[in-house]
Amino acid sequence: MKKTSTRLADGRELLYYDSRHDSVRDAVDRRPPGPVATGSEIRRDPLLGDRVVIASHRQSRTYHPPADACPLCPSRDGRLSEIPAADYDVVVFENRFPSLAGGTGRCEVVCFTSDHHTSFADLGEDRAALVLDVWTDRTAELAARPEAEQVFCFENRGAEIGVTLGHPHGQIYAFPFVTPRTALMLSSAAEHRAATGRNLFDDLVARELADGSRVVLTGREWVAFVPYAAHWPYEVHLYPRRRVPDLRGLDDAARAEFPRVYLELLRRFDRIFGRDEPPTPYVSAWHQAPLRAEGRDRFGLHLELFTIRRSSGKLKFLAGAESGMSVFINDVPPEAAAQRLREAASA
């Protein structure tokens, strides 16, 4: 992998990640420099103890542009975009409309491919491996920032999820605090260790493998299963068999197998509702250990992949119990979801 760092006209950082070491990235952003909105604020809820990001500048962000005006496509044919080059492998740049900015963290956009009319599931294994290298590199660099407490790599796909740009891309947040979901995981893991002397993440994976009814697929290095208490209609958790706290800890064997396993999961998600359905909307989220939390080495890196589509033409909305009380009600039994995903395996 070759990494080339440059700056956009407004001063934001942009990085090209290429699979070829002889790639030359010298294109200059020829757009006039414009203002970058950085007025986010973090407020703490005194009742719940969690944090809310106030980012009113995001109201003016780009919203469902036509394909010929996509800001994530390369700059070519006389049209200038966020990416000065006429083509690219993978690109990372500072978000023009960041949720976290101005000393409150950092938000980056990750473009997986220059091809607007594709998706992550359509990438080849070499490109998926490059994206994994990019996630790892960005985790390492963002972890070195003094304000960073947790690095979160994720992808939202589909208008139903809330995606406003159709180009295949994800994001990376460097949070200046430990997120509520992760704090709960750490608390549960600490309670389990105090009660049993064992690691919760290890025991969780072992239980799913022993039961088998919710396992979706397995490899030599990775295990994918629908969790026992799945929140979403179709939800899969992907764990490396050798527990590591974050992406930087994956060994060569796990890194080599990941593209095949992950691409297969994404392709199964696109098949479970039938060929006549539009591509399945989903969230794909890496859960990594907080950077300075006590016992971070006992955390288990894993990826959570889920969709809000519960059946053909029907979405799972967060209504009263979920939105008001954080009590999820799942219409699809996890064992049935796992069976459906096993049946959707590639031929």
pLDDT tens for residues 19-63? 999 999 999 999 998 776 667 899 999 999 999 999 887 876 776
Active site residue 169: yes
59-69: average pLDDT: 80
277 pLDDT tier (thresholds 50, 70, 90): confident
Q: How confident is the model at residue 102 (pLDDT cuts 50, 70, 90)?
A: confident
Give 60 or 268, the one with higher predicted confidence.
268
pLDDT the model gives residue 5: 98
Say if residue 242's pLDDT is above 90. Answer: yes
Q: Which of 57-71, 145-159, 259-273 has the lowest mean pLDDT?
A: 57-71
Distance (Å, whole) CA 158 – CA 168: 10
In the predicted model, what is the mean pLDDT of residues 189-195? 97
- Answer yes or no: is pLDDT of 347 > 80: no
Provide the pLDDT for residue 93.
98
- Which domains are present in the chain? 2-175 (3.30.428.10), 180-343 (3.30.428.10)
Report the pLDDT averaged over residues 67-82: 94
Beta bridge partners of 157: 282
What is the per-residue pLDDT for 59? Answer: 72
Burial 308-330 (b: 16+ CB within 10 A, else e): bbbeeeeebeeeeeeeeeeeeeb
Q: What is the share, in percent, of the chain residues with pLDDT greater than 90?
A: 88
Distance of CA 324 to the CA centre of its chain: 26
Residue 268 is predicted with a pLDDT of 97
Is the pLDDT at 143 greater than 70? The verdict is: yes
- Tokens matching residue 272: 């479970």
Identify the active-site residue in 169, 237, 287, 302. Answer: 169
Query: Residue 45, CB half-sphere, CA atoms under 13 Å: how many?
Result: 9
- Contact (Cβ atoms closer than 8 angstroms) between residue 90 and residue 130: yes
Question: Which residue is it, tokens 């396992």?
Answer: 215
Mean pLDDT of 191-215: 98
pLDDT at site 234: 98
For residues 205, 209, 215 and 218, what is the CA-based torsion angle, rounded to 10 degrees? Answer: 90
Whole-number Cα distances in Å, 240 to 151, 173, 188, 246: 18, 22, 20, 11
Say what the pLDDT of residue 269 is: 96
Mean pLDDT over each residue of the chain, to the nearest integer: 95
